[in-house]
Amino acid sequence: MATLHPFRAIRPVRDKVHLVATRPYYSYKSNVLKAKLQDNPFTLLHIINPEFDKTHKTKANSTARFELVKKGYASFLEKGILIQDPTPHLYVYRQSTLDHSYTGIIGGADADDYLNDVIKKHEATLTAREQVFTQYLDIVGLNAEPVLMAYPRHDRIHSLLNQVVKDRPEYEFSTTDLVKHELWVVPHEIAEEIITLFQSIEATYIADGHHRSASSVAYYQHQKEKGNRDAGKAFLSYYVEEDTLTILEFQRLVKHRNGYSVHDLLNRLREVGQLTLLDSPRKPSKCHEITLYLDGKGYALQCDDTKLHHNHPTESLDSEILTQQILTPILGIADLKTSEDVAFIPGNTPMTEVLRLIDHGEYALAFFLYPVTMEEVKKVADAGLHMPPKSTWVEPKLRSGITIMDLHD
């Protein structure tokens, strides 16, 4: 039974939402980030980067830095840039691109559901990173970027969301990346029905945001130990029907051929499966086909079916097959998490850009993978296992600051 919490969102006033909402700061090039901070006094980036124009700065991820972030939120509230809804709500958010639209529910996921495995995970988290996020929450006490959650289609919930979006949205704006954003405040009677219907859903799945969810749950546990039983019980999440998510792959770019000549490397690859020279480079057209770009030419490698573990949740994935049969034994890359010889490029990057990196000598070769399906992700999560590193690039990518959750509220 999945639990969905309404909450009193802290959110921008209507006329400034397009100025406040932002992509994560690390997604911007340094010159673009600087320009945004200089030209837009309302961007949430001022809170996240409180000392961008100062000579003397606090240490990154320090208590002093997090205290400045907390003061930044307070300042935005005092100035009326952010307001807080007087009563708890659910919110419907729709993100539309030129070729896709995502409609889902913003609400609070339940920390106990996470601990009881009602919320399923498919990615391991790094303890150090999780600890930093937890320390941040201990001081700041706010979630500004939702965890992306997937849930199985439910006809009645789907119908209720369609009913909500017939009304004029509270927010409606577009961003320079050609994405349209819309937000509706869900009427209380509809929200109550959605919350009740969610209790019939056996499990939800984290699609993106494993570190954010893990740190939020750690914060909840710390607060519970202090006697604050309800603080942090809910953490900010965006629930989308699982069959509407877009799951792309990550390409693997390798800096060297591990001492092999092109001829000898191709012969080693033929030990893995049938290798075919392509008329032009392309991405794989099916599962267990891996394509590569090497020395100005494209190849398709059809993995030997007799060497595949079809019934194993992770070992049957093309990303793991590539690692176990090529990257480690042939190219000498022992650990994808720590190796400096391999780079990961998300599947929405134009192929011409990837090929350019090879042609200009920045990398020696590129491997292209077929995207995994949501069913494969669920199979891994249901088995209590973890996907190989950089197996999925999931969309939609969410903006921070459209709705903010106060974990103490």
Residue 54 confidence class, pLDDT cut points 50, 70, 90: confident
Peptide bond into 6 cis (omega under 30): no
Pairing mode, strands 250-254 and 246-248: unpaired
The amino acid sitting at 260 is Y
Q: DSSP alpha helices (H): ranges in 100-154? A: 111-115, 127-140
- Whether residue 385 is predicted with pLDDT greater than 90 in this model: the reply is yes
Residues 107 and 85 sit within 8 Å (Cβ to Cβ)? no
User: What's the pLDDT at 396?
Assistant: 95
3-class DSSP string for 51-105: CCCCCCCCCCCCHHHHHHHHHHHHHHHHCCCEEECCCCECEEEEEECCCCEEEEE
Residues 215 and 111 sit within 8 Å (Cβ to Cβ)? no
Which residue is associated with the tokens 């075919």?
276
Residue 322: HSE in the Cβ half-sphere, 13 Å Cα cutoff: 27
In this prediction the pTM is 0.93
- Whether residue 228 is predicted with pLDDT greater than 90 in this model: the reply is no
The amino acid sitting at 122 is H
Average pLDDT over residues 8-30: 93
Domain residue ranges of the chain, discontinuous segments joined by +: 4-247+395-406, 250-370
3-state secondary structure of 253: strand
Could you tell me which residue, 298 or 34, shows the higher pLDDT?
298
What is the C-alpha to C-alpha distance for residues 68 and 63, in angstroms, rounded to an integer? 9
User: What's the pLDDT at 337?
Assistant: 85
99-154 pLDDT, tens per residue? 999 999 999 999 999 999 999 999 988 788 889 999 999 999 999 999 999 999 99
Q: What is the mean pLDDT of the chain?
A: 95
